[in-house]
Amino acid sequence: MSLKGAPHSSSSSWDLKTSILLVFFLSSSSPCFSWSLPPSIVNSTEQHRHHTFISDFRVLTRRILSECPDPNPFLQINVTPDSNLADEENVTVTVSGVFVPQKDDWVAMISPVKNSNDVSRCPANELLYAETGDLSKLPLLCHYPVKAQYMSNDPDYINCTKKECKKYKHGKCVKSTCSGSLRFHVINIRTDIEFVFFAGGFETPCVLTRSNPLNFANPNQPLYGHLSSIDSTGTSMRLTWVSGDKAPQQVQHGDGKTQISQVTTFSQDDMKSRSAVPSPAKDFGWHDPGFIHSAVMTGLRPSSTFSYRYGSDSVGWSDQFQFKTPPAGGSDELNFLVYGDMGKAPLDASVEHYIQPGSLAVIGALTDEVNSGKFDSIFHIGDLSYSTGCLVEWDFFLQLISPIASQVSYMTAVGNHERDYPDSGSVYITTDSGGECGVPYETYFPMPTQAKDKPWYSIEQASVHFTIISTEHDWSENSEQYEWMRNDMASIDRSKTPWLIFMGHRPMYTSTDGIFSVDKKFVEAVEPLLLENKVDLSLFGHVHNYERSCAIYDGKCKAMPTTDENGGATYDNSNYSAPVQAVIGMAGFTLDNFTNDGNSWSLRRISKFGYVRGHATREEISFEFVNAATMEVEDRFRILKKQSAEYVDVSQIMTGFRGIAADEVERDRATDRSEL
Ligand SMILES: *[C@@H]1O[C@H](CO)[C@@H](O)[C@H](O)[C@H]1NC(C)=O
Ligand SMILES: *[C@@H]1O[C@H](CO)[C@@H](O)[C@H](O)[C@H]1NC(C)=O
Ligand SMILES: *[C@@H]1O[C@H](CO)[C@@H](O)[C@H](O)[C@H]1NC(C)=O
Ligand SMILES: *[C@@H]1O[C@H](CO)[C@@H](O)[C@H](O)[C@H]1NC(C)=O
Ligand SMILES: *[C@@H]1O[C@H](CO)[C@@H](O)[C@H](O)[C@H]1NC(C)=O
Ligand SMILES: [Fe+2]
């Protein structure tokens, strides 16, 4: 931009520098990578490139950054408000005094704000960061911007609609400048932020001017509270939240009950790195998470509504929220929401590290569902925030889900983007977690697991037993997780929970090939357990679409559903044959196409953003795929089971249907069916 207004000499020296850089860049990106990366990293980088649609912005961390030569004296960047930011705020960033607006002028939001050298070049990092997907041999920007926008997002900027005269001669304007404004959605990430105005696009950025640092009014504010169950009783609920303050806080709930928080955090040292290839989490993507508080509210009644707030007199209190406990295991009816691979997207026109374009529509629809009061719980089966080493993105994700996760339990499974990293014990040797290795995941989403880094567990809600595994940890025969899932599923009392739903991240069946091809070893090891234990339904994510199978085992249909006039499918498990399998990774990440239409086991394929509603009674579980854009149901299926003699437990039925006449029960069931 102002380069054009700068003196000729420095402008051409800039051009010279750029072309030297270009030559360097071209020569270093020649066919092979002279600095030898382990082949697994090279492969995963290729995968990553394929998988994430690497943008110029994504590889900013591999750019040389310098001061632009001789910025003009009128240049200014102003932010309103300019201090004491609220916990959520839309700030206006105005750049003014620009001589010649350029298409590649841009503004970054940077945090934390350290000394001025910090937003400069980091030549020492030259060899690093294959995870960004860029294998060229460039030095790095030290900071990864939280987000950025081109000034051209404001049409008034490029057109110079807002001219200001800076110099008059004989009453005539001889020097005028242009300006433009951008809206940035800012949430309380505790650390000060600054806005930096760059020329040169994302390819050859240079700093023109910077705002003053902006602070948050209360960096210690307790925020982003989200719920999870600790067991199957429905009488306790864990609340986890974030604050800049380390001292224990409280959750106050029900009739004046108080629980004190346990406080944890994680540090840069907890992020994994290989000595030769440091990860984003360990370096440019690191952001201080503050402190993660967690407390268990006890003495609750299942399927009931309570109110709560969290915080303390010294740091402040959250708003008052209402939440609903899930139904106790063994009770009658459950309504839940389930999906994988949601992620997040900015609430402004910014680009950022990793955007999942469908996430906002899906979260909007889920918020309507949860606000209806009809749902008891949520399951998000892997690939949660996609922060993948750019840690500030966990805060943005937590902020986005808090309208739903503050009301009902938000249960999770771990995905490759939370866990995988070379030499870290993950089954798959990829850099997909950007060095996080599950540490932020487990801290933000404490699940009722047995130990650290063993993220598998089961939980019962009403008539359903959910067995939730990690496809990223060893599941091979005789492994610890294998033994656990075998014991867990073998010990289910099917008279209490007639339904068994098995969930994890990577699927056993998909019609999307390529980098998603199914791991045959996983199927060989684990699928027999599903059959032996009469799993009714398996749900997986990872592939970004929706697909439903027949009752399937070993690649073959063991039973087909009947289909009603509306296309709804009914599987009868009264005489069990095999699990039904569904892929439900369509909640936000860029959708995948079905590359293979020839699978006879595949009964329904939809590549649209959405989520699944589940409804369970003792006799039936039913599911609906909801298109988030239209809220229309685009697939329905149900699984029926007449309770066989061996499963009927009269006392259960008596307590289950206490006080309801038999004919009323029949009527209720008929209504349930007609809703399908
Ligand atoms: C990397 O990919 C190539 C070709 O796709 C494959 O032959 C090789 O085994 C892979 N290496 C690793 C370590 O995964
Ligand atoms: C900021 O703007 C976005 C988009 O218009 C809106 O959704 C959000 O509610 C706004 N937030 C605040 C705190 O004004
Ligand atoms: C600004 O310029 C663009 C072309 O660069 C044009 O399409 C647009 O209509 C102009 N807007 C105004 C407000 O003049
Ligand atoms: C149950 O299904 C199997 C095949 O899947 C069949 O051989 C058997 O006869 C069926 N039993 C009943 C009672 O329908
Ligand atoms: C899926 O197919 C559509 C239409 O052919 C195409 O535009 C889109 O890029 C494809 N998506 C992916 C992820 O390959
Ligand atoms: Fe995944």
Q: Which pLDDT value is given to residue 387?
A: 93
Could you tell me the sign of the dihedral formed by the alpha carbons of 477, 481, 484, 490, in that order? negative
Residue nearest to atom 2 of ligand 1 (CA): 43
Cis peptide before 112 (omega within 30 of 0): yes
Q: Pick the closest to residue 444 from 503, 504, 391, 408 (CA basis).
A: 391
> Residues 153-191, buried b or exposed e (16+ Cβ, 10 A)?
bbeebbebeeeeeeeeeeeeeeeebbbbbbbbbbbbbbb
Within the chain, which residues score under 50 in pLDDT?
Answer: 1-38, 40-41, 43-53, 116-121, 123, 126-127, 133-140, 647-676
Residue identifier of the C-alpha nearest atom 4 of ligand 2? 347
Q: Nearest bound ligand to CA 91?
A: 2
Question: Token digits for 122?
Answer: 């980091």
Instruction: Give distance in angstroms: CA of 200 to centre of ligand 3.
Output: 22
Q: Which atom of ligand 1 is nearest the CA belonging to 43? A: 1
Give me the pLDDT at residue 566, please: 85
Q: How far is the CA of 44 from the centre of ligand 1 (A)?
A: 9
pLDDT in tens, 22-62: 222 222 222 222 234 445 445 444 444 434 445 667 666 65
Report the distance separating Cα 331 and Cα 345, nearest Å. 38
Among 150, 159, 160, say which to mutate for ligand 3: greatest number of ligand atoms within 8 Å of CB.
159
Residues with CB under 6 A from ligand 4: 575, 577
In 3D space, the residue among 540, 564, 541, 534 whose CA is nearest the CA of residue 635 turns out to be: 564
* Å from CA of 187 to ligand 5 middle: 33
Q: Which residue has a Cα nearest atom 6 of ligand 4?
A: 575
Ligand 4 atom at minimal distance to the Cα of residue 558: 5
* Residue 502, helix vs strand vs coil: strand
From the alpha carbon of 607, which atom of ligand 5 is closest? Answer: 1
The SS3 assignment for 140 reads strand
Q: Which helix (H) or strand (E) holds 337?
A: strand 334-339
Ligand 5 pocket, CB under 6 A? 590, 592-593
Closest ligand 1 atom to residue 39 Cα is 13
Helix axes 480-490, 520-532, angle to 10 degrees: 20
Question: Torsion angle of alpha carbons 591, 362, 222, 195, nearest 10°?
Answer: 60
Q: Which residues of 202-239 are buried (b: 16+ CB within 10 A; e: fewer)?
A: bebbbbbbbbebbbbebbbbbbbbbbbbbebbbbebbb
Question: Which pair of structure tokens corresponds to residue 577?
Answer: 């044959």
Does any ligand 1 atom lie closer than 6 A to the CB of residue 40?
yes
Query: Quick check: CB of 257 below 6 Å from ligand 2?
Result: no
Q: Which of 210, 178, 212, 208 is nearest to 81 (CA)?
A: 212
pLDDT of residue 664: 36
Owner of token pair 């298109």:
627
d(CA 366, CA 302): 22
In this structure, which residue's CA is closest to atom 6 in ligand 1? 43
- So what's the pLDDT on residue 651? 43
Burial category of 55 from C-beta neighbours within 10 Å (exposed 0-12, middle 13-18, buried 19 and up): middle
CA dist 498 → 332, 467, 666, 673 (Å): 10, 13, 18, 18
Mutate to test the pocket of ligand 1, among 32, 37, 41, 43 (most ligand atoms within 8 A of CB): 43
90 C-alpha vs ligand 2 centroid, how far in Å? 6
Protein residue closest via CA to atom 13 of ligand 5 = 592
Count CB-CB contacts under 10 A for residue 425.
14
Q: Output the six-digit token pair for 145.
A: 């911007």
544 CA distance to ligand 5 centroid (A)?
12
CB neighbours of 316 closer than 8 A, spacing ≥ 6? 218, 220, 221, 222
Atom 7 of ligand 2: nearest residue by CA position: 347
Q: Is 158 in the pocket of ligand 3 (CB under 6 A)?
A: yes
Q: Residues 445, 413: contact at Cβ < 8 Å? A: no
**Mutation to probe ligand 2, out of 188, 347, 367 (largest number of atoms < 8 A from CB):** 347
pLDDT the model gives residue 64: 64
CB of 236 sitting under 6 A from ligand 1: no
- The C-alpha atoms of residue 123 and residue 140 are separated, in whole angstroms, by 6
- Residue in this structure with the two tokens 């696009």, named with its chain if needed: 201
Instruction: Categorise residue 281: left if φ over 0, alpha if ψ from -120 to 50, beta otherwise.
Output: alpha
In terms of Cβ atoms closer than 10 Å to its own Cβ (0-12, 13-18, 19+), residue 359 is buried
Say which ligand is closest to the CA of 608.
5
**Size of the chain, expressed as the number of residues it contains:** 676
CA dist 239 and 264 (Å) reads 13
How high is the pLDDT of residue 48?
47
What values do phi and psi take at 189, rounded to 5?
A: -105, 15
Amino acid identity of 142? C
Q: In whole angstroms, what is the distance from residue 31 CA to residue 37 CA?
A: 14
Question: 10 Å Cβ neighbour count for 131?
Answer: 26
Identity at 667, one-letter amino acid code: R
Ligand 4 atom nearest the C-alpha of 575 is 1
159 Cα–ligand 3 center, Å: 6
The radius of gyration computed from the CA coordinates of the chain, to the nearest angstrom, equals: 27
Q: Where are the alpha helices (DSSP H) in 474-605?
A: 480-490, 520-532
Tell me which long-range contacts 307-310 makes (C-beta under 8 A, separation of at least 24).
307/253, 307/254, 308/239, 308/251, 308/252, 308/253, 308/254, 309/251, 309/252, 310/222, 310/225, 310/239, 310/241, 310/249, 310/250, 310/251, 310/252, 310/261
- How close is the Cα of 98 to the center of ligand 3, in Å? 18
Q: What atom of ligand 2 comes closest to residue 348's alpha carbon?
A: 4
pLDDT at 285: 85
Q: Whose CA is nearest to atom 14 of ligand 3?
A: 159
Q: How far apart are CA 539 and CA 523, in angstroms?
A: 14
Residue 577 CA: which ligand 4 atom is closest? 5
Nearest to 192 by CA among 209, 207, 205, 210: 210
**Domains plus CATH for the chain?**
2-210 (no CATH), 223-675 (3.60.21.10)
Q: Whose CA is nearest to atom 12 of ligand 1?
A: 40
Distance CA 606, CA 540 (A): 15
Closest C-alpha residue for ligand 4 atom 8: 575
CB atoms within 10 A of CB 461: 31
Strand (E) or helix (H) holding 459: strand 457-461
Among all ligands shown, which has an atom nearest to the Cα of 81?
A: 2
C-alpha 239/C-alpha 262 separation (Å) is: 11
Task: Give the tokens for residue 413.
Answer: 């499974």
Task: Give the pLDDT score at 142.
Answer: 63
Check the CA dihedral 472-478-481-487 and report its sign. positive
CA distances in angstroms from 657 to 111, 354, 375, 533, 654, listed in the order given? 57, 49, 21, 27, 6
How far does the centroid of ligand 5 lie from the alpha carbon of residue 611, in Å? Answer: 20
Shortest-distance atom of ligand 4 to CA 559 = 5
Asked whether 86 and 61 are in contact (CB, 8 A), the reply is no
* Structure-block tokens of residue 27: 């020569």
Q: How far does the centroid of ligand 2 lie from the alpha carbon of residue 207, in Å?
A: 29
Nearest ligand, CA 551: 4
Looking at the CA of residue 156, tell me the nearest atom of ligand 3.
13
In what helix (H) or strand (E) does residue 669 lie, and over which residues does it extend? helix 662-675
For ligand 4, mutation pick of 552, 572, 575 (most atoms within 8 Å of CB): 575
Ligand 1 centre distance from Cα of residue 40 (Å): 7
Alpha-carbon span 520 to 587, nearest angstrom? 25
In angstroms, what CA-CA distances link 623 with 75, 568, 613, 638? 58, 10, 6, 6
Question: 160 CB less than 6 Å from ligand 3?
Answer: no
Q: Which of ligand 1's atoms lies nearest the C-alpha of 38?
A: 13
Q: How far is the CA of 43 from the centre of ligand 1 (A)?
A: 6
